Amino acid sequence: MQLTDTLQNFQTPCYLYDTALLARTLDAIRHEVQQHDNYHVHYAVKANSNPRILSQIAAAGLGADCVSGGEIRAALAAGFPASKIAFAGVGKADWEIRLALQSAIGMFNVESFEELEVISQLATAMNLRARVSFRINPDVAAHTHAHITTGRAEDKFGIAKEDMVRVIRMAQTMPCVDFTGLHFHIGSQLLVMDDFEELCRCVNQLQLELDSEGIFAPNINVGGGLGVDYETPAANPIPDFQAYFSTFTRGLQLREGQQLHFELGRAVVAQMGSLLTRVLYVKQGRQKQFVIVDAGMTDLIRPALYDARHHIDNLSATAAEPAVTYDVVGPICESSDVFARDILLPPTRRGDLLAIRSAGAYGETMASQYNCRSLPSVHFIE
């Protein structure tokens, strides 16, 4: 990315979205998926719900994976067909279930017996049908940060494997509920395909159990979680979708006519986004040099929340001067408001423009107004 006059004039902090890279990423996904007529990709709206980004993803033909009523509204407004919307989440409120029923979404990913009963009651009262898949907790410990692993037995998500048949049988007795399949999601930022292979083995095992019960699951949804390269984003702007999809092609034993669904969030949008921020001060501490920037954890909370590391470029640096070690920190009154510790940057000065890379996923959507700050603005490059 060159430091153009346009970039120079942006008020910071702001997000910059590269829609051409998003288009190439969507092409790469399409290239893999179109080789299988039973593969369907739903974009996880929570990763980035900017209306323009959502519209571009909807136009590329993906479905949407929503985790709230607000996301269902955003997905519909962006042009995702209701039939391609899946609604997940451990705590669906009654109004959200009603909205999903009224909108005739493709399916609910149901996470408990208790939720199934409420959906059944509401659907019956509204005289509408609810298509439900069950999120099964596969008890797989994915290799990622503890805050973003979701498929272990002790996590709050999903229904225990042992209860799978019982919950399906219960759904089959409900007059307004249609059982549509099984759903899984083991975690996020997964780069080791072993985790997905383990998920495949678990799904195959559960399918054998369904066979023995004479139950057919029309849809298998393996969730999302494919990670991106945060360390060298310029070298790997597009995730290895070939390795990802082929892991499931090889690992899953699908039944005749079964549809396979994926819910990718981060892998679709992370690399197309940068957070632009200006250097306010370069402060000489007692032991360290701090680059204090005008963006903070309110704009991008991942480093504070998950110890995440984002690559940072100084766009204003010119000649190849020897690099200096800095901590890059924000202005928020929290010690965790640190973007990077002990990183090498070209000599950095007040007024320099920095780009915090791979910020397209879980960046803008998690922004807050803590400290009475304004939300970051957004710009697009084509």
Ligand X SMILES: *Cc1c(COP(=O)(O)O)cnc(C)c1O
**Contacting residue, 63, 69, 223, 296, with ligand X by CB under 6 A:** 223
Tokens read off for 89: 């989440």
> Binders of ligand X: how many residues, by CB under 6 A?
17
Smallest separation, CB 358 to ligand X (Å): 12
Q: What residues between 135 and 194 interact with ligand X by CB under 6 A?
A: 185, 188
Rounded to whole angstroms, how far apart are CA atoms 337 and 354? Answer: 16
Distance in angstroms (rounded) separating the CA atoms of residues 100 and 117? 16
* Closest to 22 (Cα-Cα) out of 274, 195, 211, 200: 274
Stretch that binds ligand X, among 158-166, 218-226, 304-312, 368-376 (CB under 6 A): 218-226
State the nearest-atom distance from the C-beta of 175 to ligand X, in Å. Answer: 27
* Single residue of 12, 16, 29, 46 touching ligand X by CB under 6 A: 46
Q: Which two tokens stand for residue 5?
A: 């006059």
Site for ligand X in 282-321 (CB under 6 A): none
Q: Which stretch binds ligand X (CB under 6 A): 70-78, 191-199, 257-265, 271-279?
A: 257-265
Stretch of 8-16, 222-230, 328-336, 368-376 contacting ligand X, by CB under 6 A: 222-230
* DSSP assignments along 275-333, one per residue: EEEEEEEEEE-SS-EEEEES--TTT--HHHHH-----EEETT--S-PPPEEEEEE-SSS
Query: Residue 51: what are its φ and ψ, rounded to 5°?
Result: -55, -40
User: What is the sign, positive or negative, of the torsion defined by CA atoms of 9, 364, 23, 105?
Assistant: negative
Give the one residue of 16, 22, 44, 202 binding ligand X; rule: CB under 6 A.
44
Selected binder of ligand X within 261, 266, 310, 311 (CB under 6 A): 266
Length of the chain in terms of residues written? 382
Give the shortest CB-360-to-ligand X separation in angstroms.
Answer: 11
101 belongs to the binding site for ligand X (CB under 6 A): no
Comparison of 88 and 345: residue with beta carbon closer to ligand X: 88
Cis ω on the peptide bond leading into residue 237 (within 30° of 0)?
no
Q: Considering the complex, what minimum distance in angstroms separates the CB of residue 63 from ligand X?
A: 12
DSSP readout, 337-348? -EEEEEEEES--
Contact between 146 and 200 under an 8 Å Cβ cutoff? The reply is: no
Choose between 186 and 340: whose C-beta lies nearer to ligand X.
Answer: 186
Q: Using CB under 6 A, which residues numbered 59 to 88 contact ligand X?
A: 65, 67, 88
CA 252/CA 203 separation, integer angstroms: 7
Q: Pick between residue 109 and residue 348 the one whose CB is nearest to ligand X.
A: 109
224 binds ligand X (CB under 6 A): yes
Q: Can you tell me which of 16, 26, 41, 47 binds ligand X, judged by CB under 6 A?
A: 47
Which residues neighbour 344 within 8 Å (Cβ) at sequence distance 6 or greater? 323, 324, 325, 326
- Of 195 and 313, nearer to ligand X (C-beta) is 195
Count other C-beta atoms under 10 Å from residue 382's C-beta.
Answer: 7
3-state secondary structure of 97: helix
- 340/326 Cα distance (integer angstroms): 8
Is residue 111 a contact point for ligand X (CB under 6 A)? no
- Residues that bind ligand X in the complex, under the rule CB under 6 A: 44, 46-47, 65, 67, 88, 185, 188, 223-226, 263-267
